[in-house]
Amino acid sequence: MYNSRFFDETYRRRWQNPEAILAEIGLKSNFTFMDIGCGEGFFTIPAARIVGKEGRVYGLDRDKEVISVLREKASKVGLANIDLRVGEAEETVLCNNCADIVFYGIVLHDFYNPMKALKNAKKMLKPSGLLVDLDWEKEQMALGPPLFRRISRKNAIELLKSEDFNVDSVKKIGLYYVITAKY
């Protein structure tokens, strides 16, 4: 599947800085942040630190083992503002109209039905909320999923528009792109 080193946080930090990405997308204190497909918390833990005690971070992943690992990590560093759930992005709505940011951190290509996941994102977002899709460029490289599984920027934008999202910005950052959108 993926290069297993991708999942090692120390290795991953060599080519991806979660704090810088979260700052770039405008995450702030007191926000409610949804990390959909959160894995072991590469973005979840830094997001919880940024939003602070008055903010809330939800982490959703279909793998109960990674949720257990993330729960332990959060506990060890004393973060009580994280709500973790096991579930599919296509089947789970964590709250209605509560999220300032719904974040897909290199996962949109993994959803079995990206359109359904986007519909659920709309349900979770506040009217002023922001959907963020961070994903791999559709280029052959040593990291990430095989080329045939990747979603190009163009296709990601088309998916967003088909669900009535308005694309605010598209940026290339290193090996990946970041699309921000509102509905």
Instruction: Note whether residue 180 is domain-resident.
Output: no
Distance of alpha carbon 50 from alpha carbon 70, whole angstroms: 17
| Alpha-carbon Rg for the chain in angstroms | 15
Instruction: Note whether residue 14 is domain-resident.
Output: no
Question: Where residue 89 sits, what CATH number does that domain have?
Answer: 3.40.50.150
Instruction: Note whether residue 149 is domain-resident.
Output: no
Q: What is the pLDDT of residue 146?
A: 85
Q: What is the pLDDT of residue 143?
A: 78
Instruction: Note whether residue 107 is domain-resident.
Output: yes
Q: What is the pLDDT of residue 5?
A: 43
Q: What is the pLDDT of residue 7?
A: 56
Instruction: Note whether residue 40 is domain-resident.
Output: yes
Decide: 156 and 131 in contact? Cβ < 8 Å.
Answer: no
Q: Could you list the pLDDT tens digit for every one of the 183 residues in the chain?
A: 444 444 567 777 777 789 999 999 999 999 999 999 999 999 999 999 999 999 999 999 999 999 999 999 999 999 999 999 999 999 999 999 999 999 999 899 899 999 999 999 999 999 999 999 999 888 888 777 888 888 899 999 999 999 999 999 999 877 788 999 998
Q: Which domain covers residue 130, as residue numbers?
A: 19-135+157-162
Residue 89 burial by CB count (10 A; 0-12/13-18/19+): exposed, middle or buried? Answer: buried
Instruction: Note whether residue 179 is domain-resident.
Output: no
The gap from C-alpha 148 to its chain's centroid, in whole angstroms, comes to 21
Distance of alpha carbon 3 from alpha carbon 8, whole angstroms: 10
Best CA proximity match to 130, nearest among 171, 86, 160: 160
Q: What is the pLDDT of residue 173?
A: 79
Instruction: Note whether residue 52 is domain-resident.
Output: yes
| Residue 75: partners with Cβ closer than 8 Å, 6 or more residues away | none
Distance of alpha carbon 183 from alpha carbon 128, whole angstroms: 8
Q: What is the pLDDT of residue 134?
A: 93
Instruction: Note whether residue 152 is domain-resident.
Output: no
Q: What is the pLDDT of residue 142?
A: 79
What's the pTM?
A: 0.92
